[in-house]
Structure 1
Amino acid sequence: MQSRRNERNQRYGRFIGLTALGSLIPGTGLIAAGKRRLGTTVLVILGAIFVLGLAVVILVPPTELASYGGDRQMMLILGTALAAGAVAWLLIALGSHRSLEPDGLPTGKRLAGALVVVVSASVVVAPMAVGSRYAFTQRELVGNISSSGSSNTTPEVDLADPWADKPRLNVLFLGGDAGEGRTGLRPDTQILASIDTESGATTMISLPRNLQGFPFPEGTPLADAYPDGFTGGGDPLEWMLNAVYANVPRDHPEVFEGVGDPGADATKWAVEGALGVDVDYFVMVDLAGFEAVVDALGGITVNVPRDIPWGNKSLPDGTCTEANGYIQQGDNQHLDGFQALWFARSRCGSDDYERMERQRCVMNAIVDKVDPATLLSQYQSLASAAGDIITSDVPADLFPALIELMGKVRSQPLESLTLDNEFFGSMGTTSSDPDYDLLHTRIQEILADTPDSPATPDAGETTPPEDTTEATGQSADDASDDRSGAAVQQASGDAETQTDESTEETPGGDATDEPAADEPVDAGAVC
């Protein structure tokens, strides 16, 4: 009796072991059950798939492999293949279990065997199911943020080699907030990323929202509509760079018939006219959803140059309402999404140029945080947040090449250039009255990495007045920044925040250590 029981236990133990093996390596269980031809066929197919996958990983460069993430057709194939593979794997595991199961097993042992199948198979099937879900999510994300309509400003490219005749790719990043209380979207944040398509070296050019009088590129409909540049009567706030997005399509709808994002098209032409460079594509980030992206990353780490107020707003008389609190000064401060948003957009006690520096700090911190581990663990929430807040006019078919180029960008240090009072002062102008021909020349020299010495006024010339547009140019849209509605404080009279813009210290560094105002700097030195 004992011998028979031991034999049954041995048979059951062998059954459990082979069931687990057959669930982990499809085909082995079938062979052990006597179905050699079927089991061998399954093993050969599995081996061929494994060898093919290994060859792809070894032979295809990592940047090219990553670029497949931008190919919607490839993501559809991959997602479908992984889903089908997961189902097939599970069915073969169940078939092996059924073939190996001894006759007459009690219910408890049969359930135990089924549990072994589920646990063993899940080691492989679960990652395949997650991979399938990620592939479909990635496909949807590319569709959501790619071009949703025609455009007057996107270039025609050969998708087989999109950078063949394009030594530099210029992408305009726009940050806008069309949230409750705003009369319309005004992208106060405008940063042009100029990318060397060969090396990936990138210069980020931050444009002030109060730039005025800029021309539109020759040969465009807006050059005819505004022969004297973007200028006119009435409220000066309506003739600044950040007003182009809403005002130009409103006043000239015939130019933008059928265009997916007329405001972005008009703003691209405005930046082209201001800087004298072609703007290929735009990427719009809705700041109202910015918090979700940072939170999905687990927060970001930046150097905070001074206590940054949150929960207050600027008022037309140059004062500010009382802050709800402050983001504390200090190096390597960890910010959640709410804090990062206020760090990037807070205006009280500072000018636009300091705010532009902080925005670059946030962008660099996000780039640094996007590592493979974070992407894998937070991909669903990141993709969901990005799909809700990012739009662009980049064609979906261009995303593979763009992702491959981003791999080069990540390998290079980002350089930054802020078009601030010091920059314009070095050329003898201000942001409210620039010499655009001279500005075009300077930008070309900087992007060519051969900047000349800063232009200075002749000895007999009068030093131009400091640009005061920002001090009187607060938009009524700033009211959306209010979370407190508290009492007014005199930010401009605060001895700790009032500074002479011509000698203001750059956050995170000493003014005496700064490079020339019209030369790009490594953004890491600022943040």
Structure 2
Amino acid sequence: MRRCLSFLALTLMAPGSAQLVAGSSSRHSEKLSRARLAVARASLRLWVCALLVAVGLAVVAVVDRDRVLGLFTHQWVIRPLAIALLGGAVIWPLLLLDAWRIGQAPELTRRSRRWIALLSAVLMVVTFVVPLALGQRVWAAADLLSGVFGSGKHSAAVDGRYNVLLLGGDTGPTRVGTRPDSVNLASIDENTGRTALFSMPRNLQNVPFPAGTPAAQRWPQGYDCGDDCLLNAIYKYGNDNPALFPGTQDPGAEAMMQAVQGITGLKVNYYVIIDLQGFQDLVDAVGGIDVDVVARTPIGGGTSKIHGWIAPGRQHLDGYHALWYARSRETTSDYDRMARQRCVMTAMVNQLDPATVLEHFQTIASASTQVVATDIPARRLPLFLELAQGAKGNEIESVQFVPPLIVPKHPDYSEVRRQVTSTIKALEGDPETVASTPVVTPSATATPATGKGSSEDDAAPSESSRSAAVNVRSVCAAA
């Protein structure tokens, strides 16, 4: 019994070692062929090498964790790792089966043999399932990195902040081109992860482009062709006029980055586009999100009938209901919808902990490759994962550039940039001194509205508000 248990334990801790021990024993040498011993030696050597590499990486990670994590963003590392894990899922159980066979002795009782057989079966299942599951997740990670994070672009932080443009692309069979109806700029501190979120309405007009760019030369007074030249039309405009946005694989995204840079005065480092048609798959992949629904929100509307409602109160929303909560504007305005989108994004940030991501990783990776596009390179992924963890533990200050702060039809972009600067100053804990965040001068700045009106678009901007920043978590109360 002790011999049988020893062989199983040796194989569990060091695959191949039981065969080598048995092969050196005169009692079992006749049972082991040269081929079996060769497989055992190769398995043990690979196992020892893997342990040495793991220990070495752990030691290096103590000094430079980002460098170690960065290794696992390369295809030449994670693909072979996935293959090794999948191969281990086959070889390891077979070595346990062989250890069970060579450990059987005539003097064992029938009852002991049954217990040994049961233990061997359990260990074979474990050594098959664990490497298989890990191998599948690593392979899914490789697909995710190649499908989403394929860019080689490098963009350094400016004055200690990364500015990432978040676009909600609204594509569909009845729409021509992508129109990013959700436009948000996340400004993230490169050390702490503290984040400021700036939301811009899709119907913003007279959008300026940064001075000196081809787009600014084409539109010296801003993107000012009336109601057809809204902020959310710039993505399609960029794709239709790639010569104005050279040197990029996605002229539409580059056009939006330049537009938001002109609006806020912040250099935009990267963009992330989420297709709202596939957003529900992403929410379903993480098991849904918890959101405090402030008001009864319709499902449907517009060109279709209202066919349901999302009730007020604390709600656990699946992908279908989360998508409608973020998109619905029947009975409300675009600006109400922007606030709900902000709450949905905050809920995702708060609830996507490492355990949840690992548990649903394959589904998340599969959904992400279908609905997410970004120019963040894979090698920068460890940095942004660390920043995301920092954002979870800090307040997220947010400004919505909507009435009465600005008038989308006649926006005062100098006021927009003043609000951006003051929000970042307050977030950095330096309310008195002038912020060092660089301001990129646009080619033109629209003047504020002077006319009167009662509609949302014509509402007069608030002159008394010193800062429009709010704490997203206090407003949304998302878990």
TM-score, scaled relative to structure 1: 0.73
Structure 1: which amino acid aligns with 2:83? T
The equivalent position to 2:310 in structure 1, one of 302, 306, 327, is 327
**Alignment partner, residue 119 of structure 1:** 122
- From the superposition, tell whether residues 421 and 371 of structure 1 become closer, same or farther in structure 2 (CA, over 3 Å): same
Instruction: Give aligned pairs, total.
Output: 443
Residue number in structure 2 paired with 1:341: 323
Corresponding residue for residue 380 of structure 2 = 398
Structure 1 counterpart of 2:61, which letter? Answer: V
Deviation at 1:76, TM superposition (A): 2.6
Which residue in the other structure is 2:164 paired with? 171
1:524 to 451, 455, 473: 473
Stretch deviating more after TM superposition (400-409 or 341-350): 400-409
Partners of 1:214 and 1:229 within 8 A in 2:
yes
What is the SS of the residue equivalent to 1:188?
strand
Offset at residue 349 of structure 1 (A) = 1.5
2:358 equivalent to 1:379: no
TM-fit CA distance, 1:437: 2.9
Q: 1:287 to 1:63 in 2, by over 3 A?
A: farther
User: How much has 1:404 moved relative to structure 2?
Assistant: 3.2
Q: 1:146–1:133: structure 2 CA closer, same or farther, 3 Å change rule? A: same
The one-letter amino acid paired with 1:171 is V
User: What is the CA-CA distance between 1:526 and the residue it aligns to?
Assistant: 1.1
Q: Do the aligned partners of 2:89 and 2:132 also contact (CA within 8 Å) in 1?
A: yes
1:97-146: per-residue Cα shift (whole Å, max 9, x none)? 343344799xx999997775443133234212211221111111011112
Secondary structure of the corresponding residue to residue 405 of structure 2: helix
Q: Distance in 1 between matches of 2:474 and 2:454?
A: 26
Distance in 1 (CA, whole Å) between partners of 2:283 and 2:20 is 51
Distance 1:463 1:411 in 2: 42
CA contact (8 A) 2:403 2:457 kept: no
CA RMSD of aligned residues (A): 3.8
Q: Name the amino acid aligned to 2:361.
A: Y
How far residue 231 of structure 1 moved from its aligned partner, in angstroms, is 0.5
Please state if 1:355 is matched with 2:304: no
| Aligned AA (1:187) | P
Q: Secondary structure at the match of 1:422?
A: coil
Given the superposition, is the C-alpha separation of residues 502 and 343 from structure 1 closer, same or farther in structure 2, using an over 3 Å criterion?
farther
Deviation at 1:220, TM superposition (A): 0.8
Give the corresponding residue for 2:299. Answer: 310
Residues 337 and 133 of structure 1: is their aligned pair in 2 closer, same or farther, counting only changes over 3 Å? Answer: same
Q: Separation in 2 of the partners of 1:350 and 1:325?
A: 15
Q: Which residues of 2 match residues 42-441 of structure 1 at below 5 A? A: 46=47, 49-50=50-51, 53=54, 56-57=57-58, 60=61, 64=66, 69-102=72-105, 116-147=119-150, 156-157=154-155, 162-163=156-157, 166-232=159-225, 236-250=226-240, 252-256=241-245, 259-313=248-302, 322-330=305-313, 332-424=314-406, 430-441=407-418
Q: 1:465 aligns with which of 452, 462, 470?
A: 452
TM-fit CA distance, 1:171: 0.4
User: How many angstroms does 1:43 deviate by?
Assistant: 7.1
Is residue 308–residue 346 contact of structure 1 (8 Å, CA) maintained in 2?
A: yes
8 Å CA contact 1:310–1:342 kept in 2: the answer is yes
TM-score by length of 2: 0.80
Unaligned runs of 5+ residues in structure 2 are 30-36, 433-447
Which structure 1 residue ranges, 5 or more long, are not aligned? 1-12, 315-320, 425-429, 453-460, 472-499, 504-514
Q: CA deviation at 1:397?
A: 2.9
**Deviation above 4 Å: which 4+ runs of structure 1?**
13-16, 36-52, 54-59, 65-69, 102-105, 108-116, 461-464, 500-503
Check whether the contact 2:300–2:330 (CA below 8 A) recurs between aligned residues: no
Between 186-195 and 32-41, the greater mean CA deviation after superposition: 32-41
Cα separation, 1, equivalents of 2:23 and 2:388: 53
Deviation at residue 51 of structure 1 after TM alignment = 6.8
Aligned CA distance change for structure 1 residues 522 and 32 (closer, same or farther; 3 Å): same
Show the counterpart of 1:485.
none
